[in-house]
Structure 1
């Protein structure tokens, strides 16, 4: 288990339990107590947890993990989901992408798709995003026209949010919106932890002809603070093959096409 994977797992446990002891963490991660102490000290230095005598407790920012620590979570599943979602986009489409680990993978898949790169002279795809990391990766692709919203950068997700983010979205039309979310429920729809992110993502969904939600199976049937869109607004849900059949059936029953990969 690599360093960032250890840190991610440690922060996940803290998010669930609120506190953890060194000995417990060492057993969970399969490393020595000395390694755990070093990890905790470094994460405390980054203000992602608070050290206590013999362990650590949850810090205020640890509930919604920074993007760089989310990357290792469900990595294989997210890659398969991204590949499947990217295949749904035809050449010439206008696509909205919000921030997140899965949508960042979707952006990479779109950027390197052979039929798009070889589509001929000019623009083969237009991507509208409020995520500065996605914009940075796509900016070097001459066949992709990259449009970035305004807004204030949210450090956890690299997303631009706030009142400066929505005017751009309100003035355009999208063929597809591919949205990564923190939770998606067959009754409550898709949601995010942060209301600012949810607002920008909601604006993106409203401007799209078709909404595609990309979410690994750990996010299905869960709730989050701020709604992004209702389940009736979701055309396709792309998830992984570990999704429980009962939950998949609930989405299908609501008219959502579910792709399990």
Structure 2
């Protein structure tokens, strides 16, 4: 297990339990207590947890971990979701992508899709994004026209938010908005932890002909602080096979095309 994977599992365990002891973490990770202590010290240095005598407790930022620590969560499921979502986009489309681990995978799938990459010397796809990491990856793809919104960068998600991002999005017309969210609730809708991210994502959804939400099953039935859009505004939800049947039924009953991949 790599250092990055250990850190991700430690932070996941802290998010679930609120606190963890060194011996408990060593057993969970299958490593020595000395390794766990070094990991906890480094994560405390990054202010992602608070060290205690014999362990660690949840830090104030643990509910919204930096993107680099989320990539290992349900990685296989996210890749399948991304592949299925990317397959819904036709040649020549204008697509909005917000930030997040799953949408970053969608961007990679779109950038490397054979039928699009073959379009040498022409624009096969236009991507509008407020995520600087996605823009960085796509900028080197000559067949992809990459449009960046501008705004204030959030270190957790690499998303650009604020009035500049929202103002740019309100002037554009998108064929699709592919949105990663923190939660999808049958009553509250799709939501994000941060109100600034939610505002930019909402603007993207409002300018799109079709809204595709990409969210693994752990996000379903959850609520987050700021709503991105209501359930009837979601045309397609791409999730994984672990999605609870009752939630799939509730969302489908409101007109959402739920695809479990």
Same fold (TM over 0.5): yes
Q: CA deviation at 1:120?
A: 4.9
**CA offsets per residue over residues 155-198 of structure 1, 9 Å max, x none?**
00000011111111000000000000000011111000111100
Match of 2:258 in 1: 258
Q: Secondary structure at the match of 1:96?
A: strand
Q: Secondary structure at the match of 1:210?
A: strand
Match of 1:132 in 2: 132
How far apart, in 2, do the equivalents of 1:191 and 1:13 lie? 23
Q: CA RMSD in A?
A: 0.9
How far apart, in 2, do the equivalents of 1:163 and 1:30 lie? 47
Deviates more, 1:131-140 or 1:163-172: 163-172
Q: CA deviation at 1:121?
A: 3.1
**Unmatched 5+ stretches in structure 1:** none
Match of 2:201 in 1: 201
Q: Secondary structure at the match of 2:37?
A: helix
Q: Secondary structure at the match of 1:14?
A: helix
Q: CA deviation at 1:26?
A: 1.3
How far apart, in 1, do the equivalents of 2:5 and 2:160 lie? 26
Match of 2:166 in 1: 166
Q: CA deviation at 1:214?
A: 0.2
How far apart, in 2, do the equivalents of 1:259 and 1:54 lie? 44
Q: CA deviation at 1:107?
A: 0.2
Compute the TM-score of the two structures, normalised by the length of structure 2. Answer: 0.98
Match of 1:238 in 2: 238
Q: Secondary structure at the match of 1:165?
A: helix
Q: Secondary structure at the match of 1:145?
A: strand
**CA offsets per residue over residues 108-147 of structure 1, 9 Å max, x none?**
0000001111135311100000000000000000110000
Alignment check: 8 A CA contact 2:202 2:228 kept: yes
Match of 1:81 in 2: 81
**Unmatched 5+ stretches in structure 2:** none
Compute the TM-score of the two structures, normalised by the length of structure 1. Answer: 0.98
